[in-house]
Structure 1
Amino acid sequence: MRQEERLVKKEFYESIISENETRHPIEVLGEMFAEESKQDVPELTSIRFAQGEVYYHYKDFEAAIMKWENVHNEMEPWAQKNIGDAYLELGFHSMAEEIYKAIATDSTVLNTEVSLQLISLYIEENNHEATVDMIKKTVQMNPDYPNVTKIARAYFEEHQDWMNAIELAVNEAIRTESLYWFEILKDYVEKNITTFISPSYFNEALATLYKVDQLYFEKLIVALWKSYQTEANYLQWVREFNELFINIEVQSFEKWRNLSEVYQETYFSFINGNYFIKDLTSLVPLLLTNWLKIAHDDHMLFAASSILSWNDLFPASIRTETIHAAESLLAKADKTMDQLEYLLALFDSIMKWAKSHQLEVSSKLQWFVRELIDFDTQHILVTGFDGRGKTTFVQSFLSDVLPNRLSNHIVVAKDDEKSELKVISNHKINTFAPSEDKVVTEEAIIEWKSPSPFLKEHSIALIDTPALNGPKRSAVFDALYLADTLLFMLDVNEPFSENEISALLQLKEQVPNTPFHFVLSKMDTIYSQQKAASLIEETENKMRVYFPNAKLSLFSANYSSKEKFDEFSKLTDQPNDEFTSLRAERLVYYVRESITYLLQQRLKIENDLVDAIHQNEDLLAKLNGAINQLGDVKNEQIYLIKNAYQTIIEKVRQKMLKNIPFQLQQSSDFITENSDFRKIHLELNEEMNKRVRHYIQSTILPDFYEKMSQWIEEAEGEFHQSQIYLNELAGSFNQIYGEEILNLSCDFQVIDDWRRDSDRFTNSVQLESVNILLRHTPSQVIMKSTNKLLGAFSQNKAMLSNRYKKFVETEDYREVAELITNKLLLPFELFEQSLERDINLFFKNPETVLNKAVTDTENIISENRENLEQMKENPELYQDPLKLFKLKLRQYEWMMMASDIREYA
């Protein structure tokens, strides 16, 4: 055993005791100490050091400390360390720490042991920061020392200090190039505890691992890749790794199936519409380049076609040598693919994306795709020039007659037990009974279903088109890509005119792989068999020039059903592999058309938003104008109605102020010579009140009621005129809206309330008695005193009666009249004060509705402007996914080219 190992284990004493010694070390060392002490210059240091070790092992720590404190030779640093150990055992942590830190030595082993003891001390004190710091220093100082990295890893994992645990694993993996540490790192990655770390942190470790073990390199890469997939720094990982991997020379014999699969999954996830192209342009070229160099055989077709399709859409983004390599590998790729499955998945993803973005998906294009994947039905398109008997030919195979109104449309005739007509436009599909006379838009396709034994037996759908030389000739190209076979109608009297040949070549240019066949119609107009044979031969010769594989059939309206069916049967081809390939080719067309349609929708949406903003701004101006007009109408009504009411009140007031004094003066006839003049003032006052009440009840109130009723009728008439105006206003706005949005009904309950108040005010009015003669005017005081003085003298009654009459007839009653008038008119005046509020209530609903319409319109304008601004500022939100759909379609075309190359080879 080496000396340092004995010192570490505190077993130095064994080196100075004989191996054959059987006595206790304490006894042996004691004798050695006694013997050495007898020397002239005794050397007791080693013995004391050894004694300290024995005492320590027997837990006599104080004795051990005393021995070690007297060690002063080259073993002193070890003695100090042992003293620290003893204090640590005794629980004196601060003293132990102080001693440990004071040790100065060049011995790496001793320094390491001191550090390990300090680590233990800090762990006992739960001092995490000091523990981590000491662990890091120890690992840096002597990582190969037994248990150093093991202790470090255990401590970091126990305390879930993942940053330091990962750092330890990465550094040790790089330093030792040991798979042990790479396995630990991979375990951390798979537990998703490395995802918070920047991907570039692992670059050096990965480069090291590639040199050590390529197989494990792939495993760790795949683990890291999957761990970052759901993290914010995923794109950073893809960039960092591919920049590292591009500089690694991969050997041809290396197999990378798992990594190749990850590359494929990553690329397809990038182009599924969830990323912006600006984020991909710096990532994908390097990604595809690396994928190609490690692509597994199963992924070779996809890797090569991905590079070539990306280069088509983003030229010069991938190096030329990579493009050449992709072209070379594409020809060698031997994996077949399900063409229709790929295209249908692409079409489905386009449809889902469109719906998720609230975009209109063309119903017509979807219908075309559904027809293409119906492999039980063969679509035969029948076309030709006007007057060639095309519709008659199609009609001869149907039981029900096609309506004449459909002659300018594409009509797809199918067999079905029940007759039915479907109108298929870009916007919707409507189903009608054949008898319904419905308007059909120009761009629509008509699906006509009716019983047809021939179509059913041969599983055929006949496509009738407008004439190729007519105004609707462009409609033919709408359904051209649906056709499995094209039948061109020829007139036996003028077959293959120059215009027909020109039209045929245009059609063939569009669908070069579609079989073309011909029908020679109007055979009943040729009476000579020899001439008929000559015409048929001439027609076939012309046909062979342009269409060498075409077939020719004869047709006449006079043919029997069997003859027609037999002739037609010559032209029908049985579905085969080419039939399936042709359908896939057609599907490519409709997928591309779908992308184009959605791009057009993008422009349409923007234009619609602009139009909507302008329309709503015009509407807003009209609504604000309507609110102003309503305000003018309301203010005018307030003025007219209040003014009319005030006129009534004023007339009643003047009438009462004029007639009440007269009524009171006429009360003088109540006074006679027999009156009791001691109480005459009281009786007369009561009589006057009575006469005033009678006058008001019999004259004023009936007149007032009549005037009020007339005023209410006039007000109601004004209100009705206002309502008529508002109804017209609402009608004009609802015409703009296209539906019944505004209802500007006023509240006529106001009129009923006025009638109720009028009845209440003018019926059963309770007038309190007014002090007319008992007021304290000078004349009344004198008369009252005179009554008391002279009342007892009967000879004065005539004179007193005359005096009273004269007083009553000449008294000024204006003040009394005004008092009575004011009392009577008080509720009417209060009613007047509420008129403006009531008229406002009458117009409240129209005001509320118009103000809400203004707010709603302002919100629509604001929302449309925001959407328009967003579309202009972020066109990639819409355009990027569609461009990536084009990329996928282009990739499919490259893969199909690879299939063609293999077949040709």
Structure 2
Amino acid sequence: MTLEKQLIEKRYYEKYYPNEERNHPVEVLGKAYMEEQKNDMYDLSYIRFAQGEVYFHSQDFEAAIFKWENINNELEPWAKKNIGDSYYELGLLSAAEDIYTAIHSDSNTLSVEVSLQLFSLYLEQSKMEDAYSAIKRALELDPDYPNVTEIARAFYEEQEDWINAIELAVRESIRTESLEWFVILEEYVDKGFTKVMNPHYFFNVLMTVYAVDRARFKTITISLWESYRTESFYLEWVKTVNNIFLNSNWDSVEADDELSMQFSTTYFELMNGELLVDKLKEVIPNLVSNWLTTSKLHNALIPSAGILAWSEVFPSTIDSSVVVKAENILFKAEAQKGNVDELVAFVELILHWAESNGVKLGNNVSLLVQQLLDRKRNHLFVAGSVKSGKSSFIHSVLTENTIEANAFDSDSQEEGDTNNFDDSSSEEEAIEDSWVEYNVSSTILSDNYCSFIDTPGLSGNEKEQREFFEYVPLSDGLLYVLDASTIAKEVERDNLLKLKQFVKDIPVHFILNKMDTVARVEDADKLVEVTEARVQEIFPSANVFPYSSEQAVSIQQKDLSQFVRSNYSFHNFVSEENRVAKLLYLIRKVIIDLKTKRVEKENGLIDSIQLNEDILVRLKGFQNKLDDIEKEKTSDIKDSYHSVKVEIKKKLEKGIPTLLKESSELVKEDSNFKQIHTELNEKMNEKIQTYLQKEVIPELCSSLDGWVEVSLENLLQSQQYLNEMSETFNEMFGEEKVKLNCDFKVLDDWRRDINRMANRAGVEKENIMLRLKPAQFLLKSAGKLLGVLPQNKTLLYNQYKKYLENESYEDITASISSKFFVQFDLFENALERDIAAFFNASFNNINRTIEDTKLAVEQQEEELSNMRQNPELYNDPLAVFEVRLLQLEKMRKIGNPSSVYSE
């Protein structure tokens, strides 16, 4: 046993204790102690150190401490460590810690032992931060020290500190190149503990594993790959794994299907249009190079085609030697036909991207994709000029069953409902601009394993013609309907000449429709002959079938079915190669369309912004106009109402004084002049009430009813004007956005209020003759004093008459008028508010429309700015799709370079 091992295990005392010694170590060491003292130059430290060990093992820790406190030689640091151990055993942890931390020694072994003891002590005290420091110091001092790494690993795992556990595994894997640590690291990866760490951290350890154990390198690499696949570090992982393979001198001898599959999967994950080209350029060139390197020859076609496709779109980004290697593989390889499901997924990826970017391609694309998926049915496009009778031909052919049609408007994103068609022209016109697929249990269709695709009628619209011609190659055959009455028209020949450019490998034949318009059989035969000659000038293999949608349809069915069978040779199962070729053509067309849509969208945004800004100016102008209208109507209606009041007031000012003056007739010579003033006051109030109820109020109500009708007419004119403005703005917006509806309930409220006021109209009794005016006071006094004398009654009679007839009654009239019009005045004061309520909904709508339009302009300007500032957001995904399409096309061109669908 080495000295260090004796010191660690506290067995230094065995130096003084021979194996054959039978006495107790205390006795043996006691004798040695006594013997040492006999020497002239004696040193008892070594024996004391050994005695301390014996006492320690005997659990006499105080005696052990006493012995070790007196060590002054090279064993002193170990003695201090042992003292700390004794305090630890005694439970005096703080004292033990003080002793341990005070030890300074050049002995690496002692330093590690102290660190481990401190680690245990800190764990017992739950001082986790100190425990971390202690175990890390032990690892730094000597990772090869027995059990240090095992203790550290167990501690980290217990604390679920996977970062430190992973770092330990990585360091030890690199340092020891031990399979055990590679396995531990892989376990951490499989459990997902490593996914939070930057992948570059694993570069060195993977390079180490590669050099030591290729099989383990593969499993750890794949595990890491899978763990990062859905994480934010995925792109960094791809960069890291690329560098690993580029630096590992991997060659074709080591080709591995599983690693190749990882590169393949990653390639298609990254090439989905979500990453910009600048980011892809950092990883794809090396990725496809490594993909090719790890691929066995039978799987090398796809990465080789990917390398050439990427190099074609992004020249000089892949090493020329890799490109040459890919070219050689492609030259020698067998063509790969492709997989329909994979291509459909690619199409759907592109369509989803287009939709998320606000680009409309039309549902005809979706319809055609679904057709191409159906390998049990051939698709016969039925074409023809507008008004050629194309749709009526289809309807007449399929009348034996209920027609089920899936209609897709080429300019709409909404799928049409399943329809049952009759022969009405309105329904034919409704689908004239649509792509419609007819799937029915028709004899003609079922006998020929096909469905009819009714295409939009060809007109003079260049854009629509181009769209039709470019989609024709996706058909399995074309049946072109000609109108027997217009076959000689030059426009039909132009259509056929254009069509010829797009139907290189597609059989084209003709229906000569409306033959019922030709009277004589000889003329009909001649027309068919001439027509066939003309179309064969353009389509040499084409045949013509004479047909009438109006007459003897059932008789023609069998011949028509035979015509289709013999000319198109449809089979009950469409080949995979046929569908793949057409899907590739469709993908190419969609990508080309999307490139042009970018410009169209930008121009559309510019036009929309200009339109909305113009509308905004008009809306603001109209907003001011509406304000003026409200003020004008308020003024007119209030003035009209006020005029009614003025007229009634004038009536009162004229009528009341007259009534009161006529009250002089109530005074007689034999009247009781002591009470005359009271009687007159009562009679005068009665006359006033009667006058108000029978003359004033009816006239007022009639005038106000007329005022309501005039106001209604006035407001109706406003509503009519607002309706016209709504239509104008909605035409500009292209949608029902502006609704300037007024609230005519206001007039009902006015009518109700007028009736209520009329019912409550009237005034309380006026104090007409009982006032304290001087004239009345004198008359009243005179009546009381002189009224009892007959000779004085004539005098009083004359005075009262004179007073009543000459009094102006202005104050009485004013008082009555004021009281009478109180509620009518309140009504007048509320008119401005009521008219505002009448226009309120229109104001709210116009204000909301202005705000919505402002927001639309802001959003469109922001979108336009982003498009102009960041064109790569749109262009880069299309470039990526272009690479993937080229890759697919290059895989097909091998042995079939001239395929029209690959152009």
Question: Which TM-score band (shorter chain)?
Answer: 0.7 to 0.9
- Report the equivalent of 1:5: 5
Cα offsets for 1:220-254 (capped at 9, x unmatched): 22222222222222212212332343122124432
Judging changes above 3 Å, is the alpha-carbon distance between structure 1 residues 813 and 223 closer, same or farther for their aligned structure 2 residues? same
- Report the equivalent of 1:539: none
- One-letter amino acid matched to 1:250: W
- Report the equivalent of 1:639: 635
- One-letter amino acid matched to 1:885: F
SS of the counterpart of 1:834?
helix
Partner Cα distance (1:781, 1:504) in 2: 117
Judging changes above 3 Å, is the alpha-carbon distance between structure 1 residues 84 and 692 closer, same or farther for their aligned structure 2 residues? same
- Report the equivalent of 1:399: none
Aligned with residue 752 of structure 2, among 752, 756, 759: 756
Instruction: Normalising by structure 1, report the TM-score.
Output: 0.83
> Are 1:426 and 2:414 counterparts?
no
- Report the equivalent of 1:199: 199
The aligned runs of 1:363-512 (5 Å cut-off) are: 363-376=363-376, 405-406=388-389, 417-418=400-401, 420=403, 426-427=410-411, 433=421, 435-437=423-425, 438-439=428-429, 457-459=447-449, 477-478=469-470, 481-482=473-474
- Report the equivalent of 2:676: 680
Cα offsets for 1:754-796 (capped at 9, x unmatched): 3333333344644222222322223333333333333444443
Partner Cα distance (1:292, 1:739) in 2: 55
- Report the equivalent of 2:867: 871
Partner Cα distance (1:701, 1:471) in 2: 73
- One-letter amino acid matched to 2:388: R
- One-letter amino acid matched to 1:683: E
**2:362–2:411: 8 Å Cα contact kept in structure 1?**
yes
Shift of 1:157: 1.8
Partner Cα distance (1:673, 1:561) in 2: 121
> Are 1:887 and 2:877 counterparts?
no
**1:513–1:582: 8 Å Cα contact kept in structure 2?**
no
Cα offsets for 1:846-892 (capped at 9, x unmatched): 33333333333333333333333343344344333333222222111
**1:466–1:475: 8 Å Cα contact kept in structure 2?**
no
Judging changes above 3 Å, is the alpha-carbon distance between structure 1 residues 814 and 570 closer, same or farther for their aligned structure 2 residues? closer
Aligned with residue 703 of structure 1, among 689, 699, 704: 699
Shift of 1:264: 0.8
Instruction: Normalising by structure 2, report the TM-score.
Output: 0.83
The aligned runs of 1:609-758 (5 Å cut-off) are: 609-736=605-732, 742-758=738-754
**2:376–2:573: 8 Å Cα contact kept in structure 1?**
no
**2:53–2:64: 8 Å Cα contact kept in structure 1?**
yes
**Structure 1 unaligned spans of 5+:** 384-390, 392-401, 490-499, 526-541
SS of the counterpart of 1:664?
helix
- Report the equivalent of 2:771: 775
Judging changes above 3 Å, is the alpha-carbon distance between structure 1 residues 711 and 502 closer, same or farther for their aligned structure 2 residues? closer
Judging changes above 3 Å, is the alpha-carbon distance between structure 1 residues 103 and 464 closer, same or farther for their aligned structure 2 residues? closer
Shift of 1:745: 3.8
- Report the equivalent of 1:25: 25
Shift of 1:805: 2.9
The aligned runs of 1:245-644 (5 Å cut-off) are: 245-297=245-297, 299-331=299-331, 333=333, 338-357=338-357, 359-376=359-376, 405-406=388-389, 417-418=400-401, 420=403, 426-427=410-411, 433=421, 435-437=423-425, 438-439=428-429, 457-459=447-449, 477-478=469-470, 481-482=473-474, 581-644=577-640
Q: Which moved more, 1:578-587 or 1:643-652?
A: 578-587
Judging changes above 3 Å, is the alpha-carbon distance between structure 1 residues 667 and 727 closer, same or farther for their aligned structure 2 residues? same
Judging changes above 3 Å, is the alpha-carbon distance between structure 1 residues 49 and 512 closer, same or farther for their aligned structure 2 residues? same
Q: How large is the Cα RMSD of the aligned pairs?
A: 4.6
- Report the equivalent of 2:489: none
- Report the equivalent of 1:820: 816
Shift of 1:61: 0.8
Shift of 1:324: 0.8
**2:256–2:296: 8 Å Cα contact kept in structure 1?**
yes
SS of the counterpart of 1:638?
helix
SS of the counterpart of 2:315?
coil
Judging changes above 3 Å, is the alpha-carbon distance between structure 1 residues 461 and 5 closer, same or farther for their aligned structure 2 residues? closer
Judging changes above 3 Å, is the alpha-carbon distance between structure 1 residues 570 and 199 closer, same or farther for their aligned structure 2 residues? closer
Shift of 1:365: 3.9
Cα offsets for 1:720-779 (capped at 9, x unmatched): 333333333334444445565554443333333333333333446442222223222233
- Report the equivalent of 1:803: 799
**1:210–1:217: 8 Å Cα contact kept in structure 2?**
yes
- One-letter amino acid matched to 2:635: Y
> Are 1:833 and 2:829 counterparts?
yes
**1:380–1:486: 8 Å Cα contact kept in structure 2?**
yes
Judging changes above 3 Å, is the alpha-carbon distance between structure 1 residues 821 and 369 closer, same or farther for their aligned structure 2 residues? closer
**2:438–2:453: 8 Å Cα contact kept in structure 1?**
no
Cα offsets for 1:522-548 (capped at 9, x unmatched): xx99xxxxxxxxxxxxxxxx99xx99x
Cα offsets for 1:452-488 (capped at 9, x unmatched): 86775454679999999x9999799446524657999
Shift of 1:269: 0.3
**2:456–2:468: 8 Å Cα contact kept in structure 1?**
yes
SS of the counterpart of 1:439?
helix
Partner Cα distance (2:361, 2:732) in 1: 27
Judging changes above 3 Å, is the alpha-carbon distance between structure 1 residues 674 and 357 closer, same or farther for their aligned structure 2 residues? same
Shift of 1:9: 0.6
Partner Cα distance (2:394, 2:597) in 1: 26
Identical counterparts, % of pairs: 39
Q: Which moved more, 1:624-633 or 1:560-569?
A: 560-569
> Are 1:36 and 2:36 counterparts?
yes
**1:372–1:587: 8 Å Cα contact kept in structure 2?**
yes
Q: Which moved more, 1:73-82 or 1:846-855?
A: 846-855
Partner Cα distance (1:351, 1:859) in 2: 28
Shift of 1:607: 3.1
Cα offsets for 1:8-44 (capped at 9, x unmatched): 1111112201211222222222233234334444432
SS of the counterpart of 1:28?
helix
Shift of 1:349: 3.0
- One-letter amino acid matched to 2:179: L
Shift of 1:285: 0.5
Shift of 1:5: 0.9
**2:674–2:787: 8 Å Cα contact kept in structure 1?**
yes
SS of the counterpart of 1:303?
helix
Q: Which moved more, 1:242-251 or 1:356-365?
A: 356-365
Cα offsets for 1:656-682 (capped at 9, x unmatched): 233423333332333333333333332
Q: Which moved more, 1:83-92 or 1:100-109?
A: 100-109
Shift of 1:291: 1.8
**Structure 2 unaligned spans of 5+:** 482-491, 512-520, 523-535, 548-555, 898-903
- Report the equivalent of 2:172: 172
- Report the equivalent of 2:851: 855
> Are 1:72 and 2:44 counterparts?
no
Judging changes above 3 Å, is the alpha-carbon distance between structure 1 residues 412 and 354 closer, same or farther for their aligned structure 2 residues? farther
Partner Cα distance (1:335, 1:478) in 2: 26
- One-letter amino acid matched to 1:405: S
Partner Cα distance (2:191, 2:220) in 1: 13
Partner Cα distance (1:173, 1:436) in 2: 82
Shift of 1:625: 3.4
**2:380–2:453: 8 Å Cα contact kept in structure 1?**
yes
**1:421–1:434: 8 Å Cα contact kept in structure 2?**
no
**2:448–2:564: 8 Å Cα contact kept in structure 1?**
no
